[in-house]
């Protein structure tokens, strides 16, 4: 049985380069060129695979770009399960300005999916045997796909007894939460959309997450708050991670790394506290390493484990969760 299946309705091939300085009109000559698989669920699958986990990525492919995307994932050892679409898979374009170190991200709209095409994804998921323990739906919805698409996936996962994990935004997030999901990973903007208000500090954001948990629509919320750290909330427990003392290069991919490492550790039978700490460590590492640097699985696991012990995660009593575990086991 596959531990984790990720679903990415709007995947991409990310083309990256760097230029000395971005100025109008002039030809800007890139100093490098790199193509990588992209899209929320695909990024989560790549992290799980690099950590040595068992994962499959489900996504649509169209045209030459779709073929390239599948080939790039094959090279990384990520198992793909695809369905064909008529229009071309999108490309996104990332440029780093060397003079300032600032990243510029150009996200293209991507293909329009017909009803027959997006329904293929629902059928494909429902027919997987044996069914994965966790279904992770992540990223934006392409044109033509209804807002309740992730809610429909949630119903399938529930019928098959799997955990449903969601990382998206806007009406698609609201519709899935109304259906009821096991775990969501919002950022501050997405949590604001769900709460319908603007909390002022970390404790107010935490209270907004608790309120959503108590509504019965979500079992677990892993809220990433950037400069405020992160918090993981269930009906019984609150875990807090202080912001890491790092100088981030870019936040691109940090949320996907956080979610991928958290789910990998949960699938490895890690407890919630340890899994949260791994997520915080992986997200922090992604923020400070060059965009395309990739470590072998063994070194990446070791790196996450080292960061895991360094990240300050406390429970609702304020005690460090690793210290508490040590006391309980002594």
Residue 39 has pLDDT above 60, yes or no: yes
- Is 256 catalytic? The answer is yes
329 domain-assigned: no
Q: Please give the tally of structural domains in the chain.
A: 1
Number of Cβ atoms within 10 Å of the Cβ of 62 = 22
d(CA 117, CA 236): 41
58 domain-assigned: yes
185 domain-assigned: yes
> pLDDT tens, 61-89?
999 999 999 999 999 999 999 999 999 99
* DSSP track, 112-126: BPPHHHHHHHHHHHH
Number of Cβ atoms within 10 Å of the Cβ of 216 = 9
326 domain-assigned: no
Kindly state the percentage of the chain with pLDDT values over 70: 83
> pLDDT tens, 120-158?
999 999 999 999 999 999 999 999 999 999 999 999 999
d(CA 18, CA 29): 8
324 domain-assigned: no
109 domain-assigned: yes
Show the domain range for 294. 4-21+29-318
The domain that holds 166 is classified in CATH as: 3.40.1190.20
| pLDDT band, very low/low/confident/very high, at 200 (cuts 50, 70, 90) | confident
325 domain-assigned: no
330 domain-assigned: no
Residue 19 has pLDDT above 50, yes or no: yes
Active-site annotation holder among 92, 148, 167, 256: 256
Angle, CA 291 vertex, CA 289 and CA 292 arms, to 5°: 105
* DSSP track, 251-307: -TTHHHHHHHHHHHHHHTT--HHHHHHHHHHHHHHHHHS-TT----HHHHHHHHHHH
- Tokens 């940090």 correspond to 254
The model scores a pTM over 0.95 = no
**pLDDT value at position 68?**
98
């Amino acid at each position: 049985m596959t531990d984790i299946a990720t679903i990415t309705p709007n995947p991409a091939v990310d083309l990256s380069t760097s230029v000395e300085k971005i100025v109008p009109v002039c030809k800007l000559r890139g100093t490098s060129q790199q193509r990588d698989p992209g899209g929320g669920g695909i990024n989560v699958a790549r992290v799980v695979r690099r950590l040595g986990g068992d994962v499959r990525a489900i996504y649509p492919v169209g045209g030459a770009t779709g073929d390239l995307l599948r080939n790039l994932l094959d090279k990384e050892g990520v198992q793909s399960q695809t369905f064909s679409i008529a229009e071309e898979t999108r490309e996104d374009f990332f440029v780093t300005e060397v003079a300032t170190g600032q990243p510029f991200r150009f996200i293209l709209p991507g293909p329009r999916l017909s009803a027959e095409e997006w329904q293929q994804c629902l059928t494909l998921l429902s027919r997987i045997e044996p069914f994965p323990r966790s279904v992770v739906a992540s990223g934006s919805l392409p044109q033509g796909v209804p807002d309740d698409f992730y809610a429909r996936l949630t119903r399938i996962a529930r019928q098959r007894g799997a955990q449903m994990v969601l990382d998206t935004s806007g009406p698609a997030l609201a519709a899935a939460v109304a259906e009821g999901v096991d775990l969501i990973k919002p950022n501050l903007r997405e949590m604001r959309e769900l709460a319908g208000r603007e909390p002022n500090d970390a404790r107010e954001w935490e209270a907004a997450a608790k309120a959503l948990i108590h509504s019965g629509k979500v079992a677990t919320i892993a809220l990433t708050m950037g400069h405020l750290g992160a918090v993981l909330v269930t009906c019984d427990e609150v875990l807090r991670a202080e912001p890491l003392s790092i100088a981030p290069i870019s936040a691109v991919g940090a949320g996907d790394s956080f979610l991928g490492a958290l789910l990998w550790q949960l699938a490895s039978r890690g407890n919630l506290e340890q899994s949260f700490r791994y997520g915080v460590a992986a997200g922090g590492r992604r923020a400070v390493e060059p965009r395309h640097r990739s470590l072998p699985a063994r070194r990446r696991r070791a790196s996450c484990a080292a960061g895991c012990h360094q990240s300050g995660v406390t429970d609702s009593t304020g005690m460090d969760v690793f210290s508490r575990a040590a006391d309980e086991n002594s």
